[in-house]
Amino acid sequence: MNDLTTVAHALEDAARQLAASADLLHEAASDATSFGGDAAGYTGELGRALHARWVAALDARRREVDEARDEIAALRAAVADAASAYTDVDAAAAARWRSEER
């Protein structure tokens, strides 16, 4: 089934793009100095706290992206299996039809 195969390839591409976006999230991480975490007193304390929240948020988004990628990969496999099954059924039906025509 060409349509299902096309869908499977599109899902594979989507999973690959999600993996690339997860890498971009990793690049968005910075050290605490970017948030003023190296400053003295309350300002530094606040900067370090903001940095900790930033890192936690990036980690959470990374996990979500990984989960979505895994779900899309599983869906792609199911669609590919369905396409293969349809192809097998079509081939069996065609063979049966040819044998009945004789």
R_g (Cα) of the chain, nearest Å? 25
What is the reported pTM? Answer: 0.74
Instruction: Determine the pLDDT at residue 54.
Output: 93
Provide the number of structural domains found in the chain.
1
25-65 residue pLDDT tens: 878 888 889 999 999 999 999 999 999 999 999 999 999 99
- Domain boundaries, position 40: 2-101
Tokens, residue 2:
């060409």
CA distance 77 to 12: 9
Mean pLDDT score, 70-86: 94
- Would you say residue 22 has pLDDT above 90? no
Confidence of residue 102 (pLDDT cuts 50, 70, 90): low
Q: Collapsing DSSP states into helix, strand and coil, what is residue 102?
A: coil
